[in-house]
Amino acid sequence: MTPTRLFRIEATTRIVLKFNNAFNRHNVLEMMQLMSDDCVFENTNPPPDGMIYSGKDEVTQFWHKFFLDSPHAYIEIEEIYGLGMHCVIRWKYYWIDANGDKGHVRGGDFFKVKNGLISEKLSYVKG
């Protein structure tokens, strides 16, 4: 396999890793620069099916509110798999609640990347 072809195959995974790094810095601007104008984000909350946010404006508003409500939010990637326009991550999400108690939950995200931008981020959590 040529280096150029390998670079293209790994591109989706690199974009998702950049997104996760921006998430961990709570950098919504950088996160949204990696998402398409018509992006779709499916949140894990409220159970059982979560809520779907569509379009860059709606998703941006979600992330701003999310980080205001969760100022210690951090995602540790446990595994990542990518091929073509799809990428899957298995993660552990950490937070500190209003009482100062630490918590975490495990879950996964399914990403779709088109034209170098994330067009879908579908999140699932172990309950």
Strand partners, 118: 35, 113
The pLDDT tens digits of the residues spanning 27-53 come to: 999 999 999 999 999 999 998 899 999
Residue 65 token pair:
């509110």
Q: How confident is the model at residue 127, as a pLDDT?
A: 72
Nearest to 52 by CA among 121, 103, 101: 121
CATH number attached to the domain at 3-125? 3.10.450.50
Q: Which 3 state secondary structure label does DSSP give 50?
A: coil
Low-confidence ranges of the chain (pLDDT < 70): 1-9
- Which residue's entry shows tokens 């446990």? 78
The answer to whether 108 touches 93, Cβ cutoff 8 Å, is no
Q: How confident is the model at residue 9, as a pLDDT?
A: 64
